[in-house]
Amino acid sequence: MSAPTLDPRDGLAGAAGEPVRGKATVPAGLKIGPQGTSPYDEDTVPIPDPPATGRATVPGDHPPLWPVNAARTATGIARAVPGQRAFDPPGPTDTAVVLAPPLPPTPPPATAVGPETPTPPRKAGRRVVPKPKWVVAAVLVFVFVSLLLVEAYANAQFAPDHQGEAGDATIVPEQIVDGGPIINASPGQDARSYRLPPKTIALTFDDGPDPVWTPQVMAALDRYNAKATFFVVGSQVVRYPDEAKNLVDKGHELGVHTFTHPDVANLPDWRRRMEYSQTQLALAEAAGVRTSLLRFPYSSRVDAIDDAAWRMITQAGGLGYVTVVNDLDSDDWARPGVDRIIANMTPTGDAGAVILMHDAGGDRAETVQALDRFIPMMQARGYAFVTVTDGLRRTLADPETGAAPTVLRNTPASAEDQQRGLALASAVRIADWSLDFFAILFLVVGALTLARTLLLFVLSSRQARRRRGDWSWGPPVTEKVSVIVPAYNEREGIESAVRSLAGGDHPGGIEVIVVDDGSTDGTADIAESLGLPNVRVIRKPNGGKSSALNTGVAAASADIIVMVDGDTVFENDSVRQLVQPFADPGVGAVAGNVKVGNRKSLVARWQHIEYVIGFNLDRRLYEALRCMPTVPGAIGAWRKDALLSVGGMSDDTLAEDTDVTIAFLRAGWKVVYEGRARAWTEAPASLAELWRQRYRWSYGTMQAMWKHRRSIVDSGASGRFGRRGLPFLALFSIALPLLAPVIDLLAVYGVLFAGRTETALAWLAMLGMQLVTGVVAFKLDKERLTPLWTLPLQQFAYRQLMYLVLIQSLVTALTGGRLRWHKLVRTGEAAVHS
């Protein structure tokens, strides 16, 4: 196979020591790649290894040349280093893929450029990390909260009707206290009450409509051609509009029983009016009618009306309502038995009566049975069963002529009220559907969380047990290791990082290559000034992390490559421990144990918990399933030949470490976790920095999954990852975090509007599961358990930030944007914690 060459057509080849493209120079004799003979050797730039403490300068802004495998790579095609193009030079016996810098851009038409006409600099077209979309997040939160508030308001919780103790009745007219159950307190006239005439019964049913019991009550009434009045709850009408319409169609009467069934005595005036008006709108939308009858929840007889109740009655009269209480209470809500219900609702002698019953709010089987006995029994005694309005008309009829005023049961609603009712009903129904949807998601999240926890316990514990004692990967790995440190403005931590790497105890020797990617803060100068014999510094124009890593790989002299972030400090034995899995010839890459080295701030402590539980414990699980998706950039080791065969570090995604790890798995290499190799990194200390870092990670992971999506239909190792690793990533890295807010939303909803005890117990159970997982993870990592006391606080702040990061990443993932190598603010506080 012929040696790699520069494409002569590019016109960019330069003699040793000559400027290339007018920028950086190439030291005489410097060459990266295998040595060999080629018809195009005169076009190559030879580059020998510089002194250990010398300086290498990469020409232009392109990574150096190095070969790739001409066979199919893990992604299915032979590919070149990003930013380069491939061409096939003729060879005597075979054809090789050869890399060359990209063709220079076509020059623009010549124009006169004078000394006062400067050429504008070219700007990179890469996108920066977008700022958090707080407006979008606020809108989403507002929508969710609004839906939950509507649901909480409309979700009436019925308490049994009761007779409270009456207060003072100093302003209640005497004729009301001694009068009947139908009260008209219209303004401008004396308040009056009315009784039903003898042998007249108005059956009234509260709290409906109910999809189960209202039809059964209606069927019992229909069997005996009896009519009744149903005082309905507006929220129930919205939920079961067909039942309300059926009542009207069958000739029954509807009345207002408020929208949410509250104790209206405890409500302000505006809220009472809203309860009445919203029920009217619900009736207009469901049945096309409105009503002038009103019954307050928990009301009873006229002799129980006190001053507070009288004020409500007069206010309702001012709104045009006729208030209806009762003569007899069946107490069917208490389910005392059919005989007792019948006894409670039987009037004395031939007296007329308004009787209180219920068609909702619980099991009403006894109510239906009582109707089937009571109605025919009273009809046999000559009683008529009428609506409240019909009974009132009979009361008002002239005793001599029989003439009675026209009183409509339910008047038609206006078109405007029907439209407004539709808007109200739509809001409640959407809220109902949303809560049902959230409940389903809650079950999904619970199932995923439980499945993940069980898998973590079983597989991680099994892995830990298998590696106890004198377990080893095989014969000790003692060959030389090249450690690549891509660095961009890392002056705060570069010295600690380089010293910790160069001083490692690996017996085969450690070569440290610091690739300065256009730093402007003197990072390269600091690394060079250390004067360490096994440290080499390469300076190159800024091209991104992938470019810097590829530059280091090309310059590395060892067959094992370790990649380290410039802010990371290694323990003395970390390099040695990290490379031991390569004793297994099937291992292509190794993930180390990343630890948070700056733990002073609360945000950093939360990340420490996340690293131990969410990253390191997960890596044990993924290794057991042979689908580890990411070898972390802070500490990872690679076989150089395997890395070259998959095309090196790509800048196709924002998560180059995930991208290349997946490529290794698809190529059939094993990727394992070595927890004894520990690296201490500096985690973002502020929420803003954390946002930028996690956005890049989340977005990049989604890009990598999309890039390798075709592995789902592949065969062999690639298909195994596609059908195992991608679903795990989708479920546990995207779906579960995206759905996890449901737990918090429903917890808040439950505490405020539902069963507080049940909600608190459910939330504590979820927290307990996380705490147990944390204890297991910390024990496996030999970490102190003290930081776990902040775990409950993490649920209220840190998790919500991660939700927003993932949501924004998902929203923007399809844009295909690129980010520059973003530099986080560093303080150099990362240190080894004993």
Continuous H helices in 254-336: 269-287, 307-318
**Hunting for tokens 């560093």 — which residue is that?**
826
Question: And the tokens for 195?
Answer: 């009784």
Look at the alpha carbons of 275, 280, 281, 282 in this order and tell me if their dihedral is positive or negative.
positive
DSSP string, 754-822: S-HHHHHHHHHHHHHHHHHHHHHHHHHTT--SGGGGGHHHHHHTHHHHHHHHHHHHHHHGGG---B--P
The CA–CA distances, whole Å, from 225 to 282, 385, 621, 714 equal 27, 8, 70, 71
Three-state DSSP state, 327? coil
- Selecting among 62, 261, 358, 708, the annotated active-site residue is 358
512 closest CA partner among 534, 540, 486: 534
Is the previous residue joined to 209 through a cis bond, with omega within 30 degrees of 0? yes
Q: How far apart are CA 598 and CA 293, in angstroms?
A: 69
- Extract the runs of DSSP E, i.e. beta strands, from 291-374: 293-294, 322-324, 328-329, 353-358
359 closest CA partner among 201, 222, 226, 231: 231
Question: Do the bridges between strand 322-324 and strand 182-184 make them parallel or antiparallel, or are there none, so unpaired?
Answer: antiparallel
385 closest CA partner among 221, 195, 218, 182: 221
Element (H, E) at 443: helix 415-455
Considering only CA atoms, give the Rg of the chain. Answer: 40
Q: Are 98 and 43 in contact (CB under 8 A)?
A: no
Q: Is 822 a catalytic residue?
A: no
238 closest CA partner among 431, 418, 429: 429
634 closest CA partner among 568, 696, 561, 682: 568
The CA–CA distances, whole Å, from 301 to 256, 304, 306, 320, 720 equal 17, 6, 11, 21, 75
The CA–CA distances, whole Å, from 415 to 284, 287, 289 equal 9, 12, 10
Q: Which residues lie below 8 Å from residue 375, measured CB to CB, with a gap of 6+?
A: 220, 221, 224, 226, 385
Q: Are 598 and 680 in contact (CB under 8 A)?
A: no
Strand partners, 385: 201
Q: Please give the single-letter amino acid code of residue 810.
A: L
Q: How far apart are CA 129 and CA 139, in angstroms?
A: 21
Q: How far apart are CA 367 and CA 762, in angstroms?
A: 36
Phi and psi, residue 778, nearest 5°: -65, -35
Would you give the distance in Å from CA 655 to the centre of its chain? 21
- Selecting among 206, 207, 306, 659, the annotated active-site residue is 206
Secondary structure (H, E, C), 81-106? CCCCEEECCCCCCCCCCEEECCCCCC
Number of residues that this document lists for the chain: 834
Phi and psi, residue 11, nearest 5°: 70, 25
Q: Is 206 a catalytic residue?
A: yes
End-to-end CA distance of the chain: 51
Q: Which residues lie below 8 Å from residue 449, measured CB to CB, with a gap of 6+?
A: 736, 766, 769
- Residues known to be catalytic: 206, 358
